[in-house]
Chain A
Amino acid sequence: MNLKTFKIGGIHPPEGKEATEKKPIEIIMPKEGALMVYPMSQHIGAPAVPIVQKGDRVLLGQKIAEAEAFMCSPIHASVSGTVKDIKPMLTPGGTMAQSVIVENDGLFEEDPSLGKNKDWQKLSKEEILDKIKNAGIVGLGGAGFPTHIKLNPPPTDKIDTIIVNAAECEPYLTSDHRVMLEKSDRLAMGLKIMLTLHPGAKGYIAIENNKPDAIEAMSEVCRKYDDISVVALLTKYPQGSEKQLIYAVTGREVKSGKLPASEGCIVDNVDTVLAVERACAQDRPLMRRIVTFTGDAVKNPGNYQVRIGMNINDFIEQVGGFAEEPAKIIAGGPMMGKAMFSTDVPFVKTSSALLCLTRKSAELPPESNCIRCGKCVGACPMGLMPLTLNQDALAGDMAAFEAHDGLDCIMCGSCSFTCPAKRHLAQTIIAFRGEVMASKRKK
């Protein structure tokens, strides 16, 4: 098989997928009386605006917050129940955000308008985009970029390629893998719907070769479509990074500071494409997502379909809790996920995984002097020199940081992973990159 991959750098972290890759997706529903929390900020852009009042009864699938700004996405209730309060609550990202709190009445009574308009073939391009927007779909891989905006780039960018990012290069994560095995038809259908928005465009499902069963399953389904094919990729981190994936699939290099659309490409995550299928072919908004719950502290690691808004502590309790006290809980994978300081937060649209590590595996070795071995230079998929950027960041030299292309960092963490001196390369670079960007915005 001809395996494709990205151009430079990359690492091979231990995969850690054995614990969950064979576990079918299990549906976990919130219990009666559970408090569901819907933060208004679950995406990139302006927060959504609540359109319900305290005391209102809401139905499953009912829109409870409207997207008023351009870069925004609406939010729907994922249970039926009563609005208990609207107030700032802690989110998984560690910040407070205005949230609608709904007490689950356990009836799951559906909004009667749901599932009425399933005939997406009859819809115009604008109507499909509108449907995707009104379903509250954002990039579910973790970025949270509103999908209807991504699918509708400026007319100067002619889209000829839509890639489903099924690389799942983050260690431990297996939810995309399971979706491809269990919902292959619907995933391909989701891509087909997206392709109708860009006539003439080709669809690719890009899968790393550590998931041979998924490659087989998707190839089987893709035979039905003449404009969709599977691309097998060599397993290497960060294959699933947008720019790296575009290069692997098409050989095109997204220019520094540009978006994928500038090279005629759109990249969307597996769960996002599935949500598009759900919105268009089943006329149901985004109310659930699939998460991998894993790590050596977990009792029953697995892939679970959860309701957005469900409390993470409740979820952990319902799926069996911990085998050992976790020392670190990460929202997402171990390379780019965020460490959480509290699990008393809801699942949001961008929660892709919960990785719970014991003290033994969470402990990081101490930092020592850089020995200039150059391994970080070899690992950087963007062709940067992390050791130099680390010096710039520590010295607080913004001009040098920019001159050394620090703003091109994709924050994949490969440099920190590979460093034998265990230097906090990615950490200092990412933090300083934020400072440089903030100061540039001020100017």
Chain B
Amino acid sequence: MNDNLMVSSSPHIRSKETVSGVMRDVVIALVPATVMGIVYFGVTAAIMVAVSILAAVLWETLYNKIAKKPNTVKDFSAVITGLLLALNMPALSFSEHPIAIFVMPIVGAGFAIVIAKQIFGGLGQNFINPALAGRAFLVASYPTLMTGAAFKATNFMAEAETYATPLASMKEGGSYGATLVQGLIGNTGGTIGETCAIALIVGGLYLIYKKVISWRIPVLYIGTVLVFTYILKLCGVEGAVSRDYTEIFFGGLMLGAFFMATDYASSPVTPLGQLIMGFGCGFITVLIRVFGGYPEGVSYSILLMNLCVPLIDRWTTPKKFGYVKPVKVKEVK
């Protein structure tokens, strides 16, 4: 008896929580926004979401095969990257761009999975958000299809031909051209997943409730956008005077604040660091929206803050229990 006892170092028990469980929660949280996107933008949106997810999973499988690594698609992170990428793309008209509908998600997912994520070591090792990197790559590769002109009106809008996104019309004409209710329910122009603020907030609250993300980044992010926009408005800055609180319900802010800036690998792990991350993203977003050439600044603000994360983490290391201020720095050697 007892010849084959297992011996290992303590602790001998583990929590039930798993990586795929965490990732599954994120997918669940994105379902409302995805469904609303398909409702508003129709079949092409559904095709682009499906192609993007499939492409992300296939790219990951292919890379793992070539790199002779165990296949990691089961952790669901590639699914999330593919889904987020699709939600960040405009739904194109099927009759005008029959090829781009397929090629764009495939190219974007390839860049996101292979270049931004796997080359740096895969899940958890990427220093920028893969989906946003993929989006940035697409914006550079398909400038006309990824911005302004290509944004399709929703199925429920009358003046479909001339429609621009709320933030673009603010940039151009000095008004959102859409009401608060339109922003909340998502009946505005925009990318597939960004228009319906309510769906995104519901998903975000679910993630906070499930303790997948903390409140710090989204709350600081959205709060900073709100407060900073008002400060600029009160200061009479030209690009900000006609903006108001509905600003936060337009554009990619909700999607970015709840789902992109909170990406584990490319956001700080320390509580204070997460506050700084949220603040920094909000600050840069407003700068780009008000002063920049683009109508929208969420993607680039998050990518820029991603680059600061190692530094933020190092600066905000929590004070250990029993910490004593070093009295004298001893000379070594």
Contact = CB atoms under 8 A, between A and B. Distances in A.
B122 interface: yes
B317 interface: yes
Contacts of B5: 326-329, 339-343
B19 A368 contact: yes
B162 interface: no
A441 B161 CA distance: 77
A430 interface: yes
Contacts of A282: none
A374 B216 CA distance: 13
A416 B14 CA distance: 7
A369 interface: yes
Given A330-B12, A357-B12, A364-B8, A383 B320 contact: yes
Main SS at interface, chain B: loop
Nearest to A94: B7
Interface string A349-384: 000000101000010110011111111010001111
A253 B11 contact: no
A368 B11 contact: no
Contacts of A328: 5-8, 12
Nearest to A355: B12
B234 interface: no
A374 B271 CA distance: 9
B311 interface: no
B15 A417 contact: yes
Given A343-B2, A383-B320, A385-B317, A369 B9 contact: no
B18 interface: yes
A171 interface: yes
Contact of A418 (B1, B15, B317): B15
Nearest to A375: B17
B13 A171 contact: yes
Contact of B6 (A247, A258, A362, A426): A362
A371 B321 contact: no
Given A254-B322, A373-B264, A340 B21 contact: no
Interface in B106-153: 121-125
Interface in B17-54: 17-19, 21-22
Given A371-B265, A373-B22, A422-B18, A339 B322 contact: no
B269 A377 contact: yes
Listed residue (B9, B11, B72) with the most chain A CB atoms within 10 angstroms of its CB: B11
B11 A426 contact: yes
A383 B318 contact: yes
A8 B321 CA distance: 8
A355 B6 CA distance: 13
Contact of B14 (A364, A374, A405): A364
Interface residues of A, number: 68
A383 B270 CA distance: 10
A310 B323 CA distance: 44
Contacts of B72: 368-369
Listed residue (B10, B264, B323) with the most chain A CB atoms within 10 angstroms of its CB: B10
A408 B265 contact: no
Contacts of A430: 9-10
Nearest to B122: A369
B10 A420 contact: no
Main SS at interface, chain A: loop
Interface string B316-328: 0111111110000
A291 interface: no
Interface residues of B, number: 41
A334 interface: yes
A243 interface: yes
Given A337-B12, A382-B320, A413-B11, A327 B264 contact: no
A341 B3 CA distance: 8
Nearest to B11: A413
B10 A413 contact: yes
Contacts of B11: 334-336, 413, 416-417, 426
Contacts of A7: 321
Contact of B321 (A336, A342, A375, A383): A383
Given A339-B8, A342-B2, A374 B13 contact: no
Contact of B13 (A326, A334, A338, A342): A334
A341 B7 contact: yes
A253 B325 CA distance: 13
Contacts of A339: 5-10, 12
Given A339-B6, A339-B8, A365 B14 contact: yes
A427 interface: yes
Contact of A420 (B4, B6, B19, B268): B19
A16 to B, nearest CB: 9
B322 A408 contact: yes
A153 interface: no
B6 A256 contact: no
A100 to B, nearest CB: 25
A422 B14 contact: yes
A431 interface: yes
Contacts of B10: 330, 334-339, 411, 413, 426-427, 430
A440 interface: no
Contact of B17 (A325, A329, A420): A420
A7 to B, nearest CB: 6
Given A327-B5, A327-B6, A371 B12 contact: no
A442 interface: no
Given A337-B12, A372-B265, A256 B124 contact: no
A419 B317 CA distance: 19
A372 B19 contact: no
A371 B124 contact: yes
A375 B14 CA distance: 13
Interface in A372-430: 372-375, 377, 381-385, 387, 404-405, 408, 411, 413, 416-422, 424, 426-427, 430
27 contacts: A11-B15, A13-B13, A171-B13, A243-B322, A256-B320, A256-B323, A329-B5, A334-B10, A334-B13, A335-B13, A339-B5, A339-B7, A341-B5, A355-B12, A364-B8, A368-B19, A369-B125, A372-B124, A383-B320, A411-B10, A413-B10, A417-B11, A417-B15, A420-B21, A426-B11, A430-B10, A431-B9
A-B complex: 8 closest residue pairs judged by Cβ atoms: A413-B11, A374-B269, A427-B9, A371-B124, A383-B320, A256-B322, A328-B6, A420-B17
